[in-house]
């Protein structure tokens, strides 16, 4: 199975879309073939990738409802160097339609099967709610990345989300795991930030990324220009942060692959 990462958090405004776009762009910059999937009816990942969301023939809605294949919905984002399955407001209707379809939780996973091994990574931007769309993302993924701000309310939501991921894993997708927790809008001068970071490390250990995403004006500006930060301002702190995070993800992925590889018998 292609390494597939759901970028998820039930709380909005924590940097899910920013992380989805810029992680995809950073992995592509590091030489990986990446598919980015917009699974949020707001379509912010689509517009943030430079695609006009209201002028689309096929979207993830068409894929989930069987109106087209995943391949037919893919748009190459040439400057960002990744491929995109876009979304727009039509996706809201998928929630209702999926409720009437057998095997609704597996629609996205089944759609990905036709892509084979074409991609090194698939990144899914989830909506900010535990909906049938989010369930589809979790069933289609083998990893979850949780972006979060370092604040106390975020800790409460994090516990609920981790429990939800565990339940989905147990019932629908045994391969699912929390790959990492990414601290976003990070301000090291803030004592609360340090306190929450310490609690995260205490509870989740090495699942907390060493990389942090700082508050950065250029990073906040980039989506309005339809560009990942690597395109918009390669020299910015936000760009460096996501390149660092992508590199850390690749190192983790490589270590897991090494552990899973059978040892040669030299005897």
Instruction: Kindly provide the b/e burial profile for residues 132-159, where b requires at least 16 CB atoms within 10 angstroms of the residue's own CB.
Output: bbbbbbbbbbbbbbbbbbbbeebeebbe
**Hey, where are the domains in the chain?**
4-249
**Packing angle, helices 152-171 and 132-140, rounded to 10:** 70
Which of 108, 81, 132 shows the shortest CA–CA distance to 1?
Answer: 108
Distance CA 179, CA 252 (A): 9
Three-state secondary structure readout of 82-144: EEEECCCCCHHHHHHHHCCCCCHHHHHHHHHHHHCCCCCEEEEECCCCCCHHHHHHHHHCCEE
Along the 267 residues of the chain, how does pLDDT read in single tens digits?
899 999 999 888 889 999 999 999 999 999 999 999 999 999 999 999 999 999 899 999 999 999 999 999 999 999 999 999 999 999 999 888 988 888 999 999 999 999 999 999 999 999 988 889 999 999 999 999 999 988 877 777 788 889 989 999 999 999 999 999 999 999 888 888 888 899 899 989 999 999 999 999 999 999 999 999 999 999 999 999 999 999 999 999 888 777 765 554 443
CA 148 to chain centroid: 13
Full-model pTM = 0.94
Torsions phi, psi for 225 (to 5 deg): -100, 5
Of 151, 146, 243, 145, residue with least CA distance to 197? 151
Task: Tell me what pLDDT residue 260 has.
Answer: 67
Residue 123 burial (C-beta neighbours within 10 Å; 0-12, 13-18, 19+): buried
Pairing between β-strand 208-214 and β-strand 121-125 as defined by DSSP bridges: unpaired
Residue 194's nearest CA partner among 164, 163, 150, 132 is 150
Q: Is 189 helix (H, G, I), strand (E, B) or coil?
A: coil
Q: Directed axis angle between helix 132-140 and helix 91-98, to 10°?
A: 80
Residue 10 DSSP one-character state: S
Q: What is the pLDDT of residue 266?
A: 46
Q: Is CATH 3.40.30.10 what the domain over 4-249 is classified as, yes or no?
A: no
């Amino acid at each position: 199975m292609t390494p597939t990462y759901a970028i998820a958090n039930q709380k909005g405004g924590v940097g899910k879309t920013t992380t989805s776009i810029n992680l995809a762009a950073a992995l592509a910059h590091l030489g990986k073939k990446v598919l980015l999937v917009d699974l949020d009816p707001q379509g912010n990942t689509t517009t943030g990738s430079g695609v006009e969301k209201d002028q689309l023939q096929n979207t993830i809605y068409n894929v989930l409802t069987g109106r087209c294949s995943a391949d037919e919905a893919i748009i190459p984002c040439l400057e960002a160097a990744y491929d995109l399955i876009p979304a727009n407001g039509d996706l809201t209707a998928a929630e209702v339609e999926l409720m009437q379809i057998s095997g609704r939780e597996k629609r996205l996973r089944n759609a990905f099967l036709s892509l084979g091994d074409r991609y090194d990574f698939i990144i899914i931007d989830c909506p900010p709610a535990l909906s049938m769309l989010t369930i589809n993302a979790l069933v289609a993924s083998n990893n979850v990345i949780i972006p979060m701000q370092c604040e106390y309310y975020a800790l409460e939501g994090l516990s609920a989300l981790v429990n939800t991921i565990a339940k989905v894993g147990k019932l629908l997708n045994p391969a699912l795991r929390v790959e990492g927790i990414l601290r976003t809008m990070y301000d090291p001068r803030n004592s609360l930030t340090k306190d929450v970071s310490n609690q995260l490390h205490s509870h989740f250990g090495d699942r907390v990324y060493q990389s942090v995403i700082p508050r950065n004006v250029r990073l906040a500006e980039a989506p309005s220009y339809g560009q990942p930060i690597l395109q918009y301002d390669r020299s910015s702190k936000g760009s460096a942060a996501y390149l660092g995070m992508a590199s850390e993800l690749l190192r983790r992925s490589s270590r897991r692959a090494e552990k899973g590889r059978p040892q040669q018998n030299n005897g």
